[in-house]
Structure 1
């Protein structure tokens, strides 16, 4: 996914919740990202935030601390996920060694 697309999508989510009280809007933006963005998108989002988050609405930046890092961390080139040991991936998926 292109960074510009991710920024646009995150800012659209923020625009939707802009009329909510700030604390509620922060929670709703993070909840939306946690529920509907796949792990690769959340990793890219969190990496982008760590790099400064240029172009992101302040509401998106404020919500970033509530966005969960995936339990699996996809690689950038292949999109292949690497699981932590324990046999369970995010959302209850099992690893092959479980």
Structure 2
């Protein structure tokens, strides 16, 4: 899957959780959603994109969530 499509999808998830009054809870729920519903290959591609492009185009909350929960989101090897 193309990185730009993954960024768009991640931002859509972020938009939903931005409505949460507690930013920490929103961040946790973004990571939980990615872990539960995204294939490991999708998460891996998004993490690779963040490493290369420094998360360009991702909403700040989404980037912060992924960064804080990177170990949980990285596919098992």
Q: TM-score range by the shorter chain?
A: 0.7 to 0.9
Which structure 2 residues correspond to residues 23-62 of structure 1 after superposition, within 5 A? 23-51=24-52, 52-62=54-64
Could you tell me how far apart the structure 2 residues matched to 1:25 and 1:9 are? Answer: 16
Could you tell me how far apart the structure 1 residues matched to 2:40 and 2:33 are? Answer: 13
Could you tell me how far apart the structure 1 residues matched to 2:64 and 2:24 are? Answer: 9
Q: TM-score, normalised by structure 1?
A: 0.69
Larger Rg: 1
Aligned length: 72
Structure 2: gaps of 5 or more residues: none
Higher RCO, Cα 8 Å, sep 6+ = 2
Q: TM-score, normalised by structure 2?
A: 0.87
Structure 1: gaps of 5 or more residues: 73-98
Runs (4+) off by over 2 Å: none
